[in-house]
Structure 1
Amino acid sequence: MMPLGFALIGIAPVLGVLLILLGLTGTCIGIYDLNQTSHALMRNYPLASRMRYLLEHFRPEIRQYFVENDHDETPFSREQRAVVYRRAKGIEGVRPFGTLCDVYGDGYEWLNHSVATTHLGSQDFRIRIGGPDCKQPYDSSVVNISGMSYGALSPNAIEALNRAAKAGGFAHTTGEGSISRFHRMGGDLVWQIGSGYFGCRHPDGSFNPERFAEIAADHAVKMIEIKLSQGAKPGHGGILPGPKVTEPIAEARGIPVGEDCISPSSHSVFSTPRGLCGFIRQLRDLSGGKPVGIKLCVGHPWEWFAMAKAFRETGITPDFITVDGGEGGTGAAPVEFADHKGAPLREGLMLVHNTLVGLDIRDRIKLIASAKIITAFDICRISALGADGVNMARGFMFAIGCIQAQACHTGKCPTGITTQDSDRYRALVVPDKAARAARFHAGTMHALKEACESSGLRHPDEFTPHHLMIRTSPREVRSAASLYDWLKPGELLSGEVRHPAFAKYWDRAQIDSFAMVPKENG
């Protein structure tokens, strides 16, 4: 390039000088590569190897925009993201020329419609959360914002989501990072309590009942959620890309500025299913009778069975259970956890639903599903499998501008959503993003209303396994009612259970320990 640049100086001076500078820069880089000892590839192929690293750096973007098709869910498909973007912007979301799905492929799903359609006057579907021991039940929207902590999300992102919740009349779950100043924009809150007891802890990290009662008395706090586990991080929640916290985060979480922010792998208040029931009752009493629930990603079935047995035997039940799926996760996790830890949402939800039905306590507890739910069809499908409502995380992040850059763990989110870098999150304009999130919720609720009407129903909770059809082969279709095993009300109380999971583990669960009871024959 340098000889060519010198040759062109007399004819095209600007181009010639540019080529000389580029050639000189490349030569210096090549000499450096030849002498460095950290990268063998760069030493053997100086300069040229840097093109490989450059392409590797932009590989996710190249794949997302130029390679994958509209239905490749990695982790969310282009079609899913486009639905959110259109609804958030108030753009018409119809499609010409029919479906792009292979309706004869294995696993294709659809909802049966009715010739006796309904005509609903409102799309504001509500569910009342609060069992017999709850003094302040909450009429919740069936679609709410899932837990995302301030610290994992930027202050502007949290503020935009809470303002959207206020405008749209739905709830905003705080995440285990507690209630920050940016959550206090008028939206209803579900205060999530994790194993770190952020916002209600003593200096040693133990639970502080007095501090909890003080914050729970806030009118904005509508429900309390005890976090046991979540999607891709079943054991604990590492909240921040870096553990050292700044002043606003420390203020919300009740820890000194600059100290490590760590969620222990388990709760210190309880260590048994019976103890969990006691903690539920304690929080309900301290909050003045507000709904208290638990959030979990189903792991060992005998541990969930032990909790369910404790609910039945003590008479202390959560007002709601949020079931997260192993496919979920809004931030980042080790690849082994993200890919292979925790039960997927469908299996986890059906196990929880079947257990509560089998114990004849399903009517006391609302089930909230949370994991990769985007469209009204997702809501209808999961409602047919047992859910009463859903929480969305990534859907609302898309609504406020997430482009799935998958840089959540780096602190360098290009849209200013998952970062504490003020130069980045200042670009996220709160009023505009709040309006988009509210429009996305409204658009989803409208689509949900139309889905209910076309199936002849009046509320999403009327969807049953008989409405959901699943293709199992090119020549066979089955409803979810016949494809999966479903328990009858009170079946677990009779002692005669044929469902394979219950037949194997139900009798090996105990309410005074999460451990599995050994078999009598050893």
Structure 2
Amino acid sequence: MELVLTSLGSIPWWGWILIGLALVALYDINQKKHAIRHNFPIVGNLRYFLESFGPELRQYIVANNREELPFNRQQRAWIYSSSKQENNFQGFGTDQDITSAGYIFINPALLPLKLSPDNPNYGQPYTAPAAKVIGVFHKRRRPYHPRSIVNISGMSFGSLSAKAIESMNKGALKFGCYHNTGEGGLSSYHKFGADVVVNIGTSYFGVRDDEGNFVMEKLVKLVETNPFVRMLELKLSQGAKPGKGGVLPAAKITAEISEIRHVPMGKDVISPASHSAFSDIPSMVAFIEAMAEKTGLPVGIKSAVGKLELWKELADYMLETGKGPDFITIDGGEGGTGAAPPSFADHVSLPFVYGFSKIYRIFQKRGLVHRITFIASGKLGLPESAVMAFAMGADLINVGREAMLSIGCIQAQICHTNRCPSGVATQNKWLQNGIDPTLKSERFYNYIKTLTKEILEISHAAGYEHPCQFTMKDVDLAMGDNNKIQTLAEAYGYRKDEVPFTSIADLLNSPYIDKHENKKP
């Protein structure tokens, strides 16, 4: 034994390296899982090592400022600098190819709008309530008038970390926008005082029984005990994976998530693709009306867009009965915060501009636009994209990934692995500890404030006080190689209905608008 130890002790440091490499080579040759490592022992491992941080390598070194997807470096830089209250300007003109197909041109007025000193946005253009009151037409007992045109899209606790949800909710309270829970249910991290929209998906998390069936009594109790819940959103599908259910692996179900979602520990939870509470348009509308009657809240639907037959049936049924959703959230097929198979994220359902324009036209043709608040979602958390959505007929904007970026997301694109390096999309306690909700809530507040400010400033440049006044003729699209442009009206074949509007001051005096006096329960 002493001889062996003496022999080992005499091996130089580089000898140990050679022994280590020999062991790696021996393992590579004998393993059957990876042909590259078998055929090229040791050096074959470099392929997997480089692949492991390839996205980061391209993101920070290889790709140019306008090249990456889903959000390029320039877009992320604008969100980051806005959230930190740093210089978000650019100099020396645009670096974009302004003749590329789909490029947005917003038409300014010869004489911009001049605000009077008594205007709420004089000197500080941050105030933009919704132009429509949600739930008035159907005479809901608690109509809702959102105080912000920009709000937080549905992102569940469980998908996002506790500290990420808390940061967003506290920032939303400070600014005055609402916070959508996502289908994961209402958690304690949604309860810091912001207005909340409860999203109800196919698994009815938080309002279900042991078999996964919807329980109305639980929903009523949830609303009664949490007065900051202002709307209910029935999720039919989402842009990331429309028409497909989901799996919550047993390994990700903590005791806290189990209690919030009312799901068992130690067992995978399978979310079905369709609802069990209804099966067709009449039964869906009856379900919506029952929830609205029992809770007194406005109820809407959220969906991606594909086939149009059932949308037309819904519009016809609403016209015939006078019943139906108070709002419709259109989710673009560009994907979102949800993990999905690439085939679904890349190819199933229409992108926002095509999907929204088709649905708006269906309800416009039947004279129903005034009854519905249209909420737009799908990579619209940048000023020019938001303005385009308002010009197409959107009344509100929901932001998801942009909100994540504002609190520290680095677009690592590993949300589905539970290894999010920024702590935003993981349940790993160590990684979550990198988020300080006091700081990150301020970052989100700064971002949403800056986004609203720039939307308003573009509106003023176009001669308008509120973005609801934009028309389809105010935005042009480049047509690409033919060197022509078309208005949105020409490109999508309709002109949005005029939204009744007098002034932002009048909106702030609405009897339905919350005076921002919410308090933590």
TM-score range, shorter chain: 0.7 to 0.9
1:52 equivalenced with 2:47 (yes/no): yes
Aligned counterpart in structure 2 of residue 221 of structure 1, from 229, 233, 237: 229
Aligned counterpart in structure 2 of residue 300 of structure 1, from 286, 307, 313: 307
- Counterpart residue number, 1:256: 264
Deviates more, 1:371-380 or 1:20-29: 20-29
**What amino acid sits opposite 2:486 in the alignment?**
R
Aligned residue for 1:138, secondary structure, equals coil
- Counterpart residue number, 1:126: 129
**What amino acid sits opposite 1:260 in the alignment?**
D
Aligned counterpart in structure 2 of residue 245 of structure 1, from 253, 256, 262: 253
2:144 and 2:342 mapped to 1: Cα distance?
Answer: 37
1:437 equivalenced with 2:440 (yes/no): no
**What amino acid sits opposite 2:134 in the alignment?**
I
1:313 equivalenced with 2:320 (yes/no): yes
1:180 equivalenced with 2:187 (yes/no): yes
- Counterpart residue number, 2:487: 479
- Counterpart residue number, 2:142: 136
1:461 equivalenced with 2:468 (yes/no): yes
Aligned residue for 1:409, secondary structure, equals helix
1:482 and 1:111 mapped to 2: Cα distance?
Answer: 15
1:198 equivalenced with 2:205 (yes/no): yes
Shift of 1:82: 0.7
How many residue pairs were aligned?
A: 475
Counterparts in 2 of 1:402 and 1:164: CA distance versus 1, 3 Å: same
1:239 and 1:126 mapped to 2: Cα distance?
Answer: 37
**What amino acid sits opposite 2:365 in the alignment?**
G
Aligned counterpart in structure 2 of residue 108 of structure 1, from 103, 109, 122: 103
1:117 equivalenced with 2:86 (yes/no): no
Deviates more, 1:316-325 or 1:117-126: 117-126
1:30 equivalenced with 2:25 (yes/no): yes
Aligned residue for 2:199, secondary structure, equals strand
1:72 equivalenced with 2:67 (yes/no): yes
2:13 and 2:144 mapped to 1: Cα distance?
Answer: 67
Counterparts in 2 of 1:488 and 1:129: CA distance versus 1, 3 Å: closer
**What amino acid sits opposite 1:81 in the alignment?**
R
Aligned residue for 1:223, secondary structure, equals strand
2:200 and 2:386 mapped to 1: Cα distance?
Answer: 26
Residues 139-165 of structure 1: per-residue CA shift (max 9 Å, x gap): 211100000001111111111111111
Counterparts in 2 of 1:139 and 1:204: CA distance versus 1, 3 Å: same
Shift of 1:242: 5.0
**What amino acid sits opposite 1:126 in the alignment?**
P
2:100 and 2:203 mapped to 1: Cα distance?
Answer: 46
- Counterpart residue number, 1:352: 359
Residues 306-333 of structure 1: per-residue CA shift (max 9 Å, x gap): 1221221121121110000110211310
User: For structure 1, which runs of at least 5 residues remain unmatched after alignment?
Assistant: 1-12, 490-522
Aligned residue for 1:222, secondary structure, equals strand
1:52 and 1:397 mapped to 2: Cα distance?
Answer: 31
Counterparts in 2 of 1:226 and 1:145: CA distance versus 1, 3 Å: same
Aligned residue for 1:129, secondary structure, equals coil
Any conservation in 1 of the 2:298–2:326 contact (CA below 8 Å)? yes
Aligned counterpart in structure 2 of residue 150 of structure 1, from 157, 160, 180: 157
Shift of 1:50: 0.6
Deviates more, 1:218-227 or 1:471-480: 471-480
Shift of 1:239: 6.0
1:462 and 1:118 mapped to 2: Cα distance?
Answer: 12
Any conservation in 2 of the 1:411–1:421 contact (CA below 8 Å)? yes
Counterparts in 2 of 1:198 and 1:386: CA distance versus 1, 3 Å: same
1:57 and 1:445 mapped to 2: Cα distance?
Answer: 38
Shift of 1:18: 4.5
2:197 and 2:23 mapped to 1: Cα distance?
Answer: 57
1:91 equivalenced with 2:98 (yes/no): no
Shift of 1:441: 0.5
Aligned residue for 1:262, secondary structure, equals strand
Residues 80-131 of structure 1: per-residue CA shift (max 9 Å, x gap): 1111100110112111001011122333221000122114432221112223
Aligned counterpart in structure 2 of residue 423 of structure 1, from 415, 424, 430: 430
1:398 and 1:331 mapped to 2: Cα distance?
Answer: 15
1:405 equivalenced with 2:448 (yes/no): no
Aligned residue for 1:225, secondary structure, equals strand
- Counterpart residue number, 2:279: 271
State the percentage of identical aligned residues. Answer: 39
- Counterpart residue number, 2:504: none
Residues 414-442 of structure 1: per-residue CA shift (max 9 Å, x gap): 11111111111112111111110111001
For residues 377-416 of structure 1, the aligned pairs below 5 Å read 377-416=384-423
**What amino acid sits opposite 1:135 in the alignment?**
R
1:327 equivalenced with 2:334 (yes/no): yes
User: For structure 2, which runs of at least 5 residues remain unmatched after alignment?
Assistant: 1-9, 498-521
Counterparts in 2 of 1:352 and 1:47: CA distance versus 1, 3 Å: same
2:301 and 2:168 mapped to 1: Cα distance?
Answer: 22
Residues 272-326 of structure 1: per-residue CA shift (max 9 Å, x gap): 11111111111111112x1111000012111211122122112112111000011
Deviates more, 1:478-487 or 1:174-183: 478-487
2:172 and 2:164 mapped to 1: Cα distance?
Answer: 12
2:344 and 2:220 mapped to 1: Cα distance?
Answer: 35
1:466 and 1:20 mapped to 2: Cα distance?
Answer: 74
Residues 4-54 of structure 1: per-residue CA shift (max 9 Å, x gap): xxxxxxxxx9xx955333333222211221222322221211101011111
Shift of 1:227: 0.3
Q: CA RMSD in A?
A: 1.9
Relative to the length of structure 1, the TM-score reads 0.88
1:97 and 1:176 mapped to 2: Cα distance?
Answer: 45
Aligned counterpart in structure 2 of residue 365 of structure 1, from 356, 372, 378: 372
Aligned residue for 2:408, secondary structure, equals coil
1:273 and 1:366 mapped to 2: Cα distance?
Answer: 19
Relative to the length of structure 2, the TM-score reads 0.88
1:449 and 1:416 mapped to 2: Cα distance?
Answer: 32
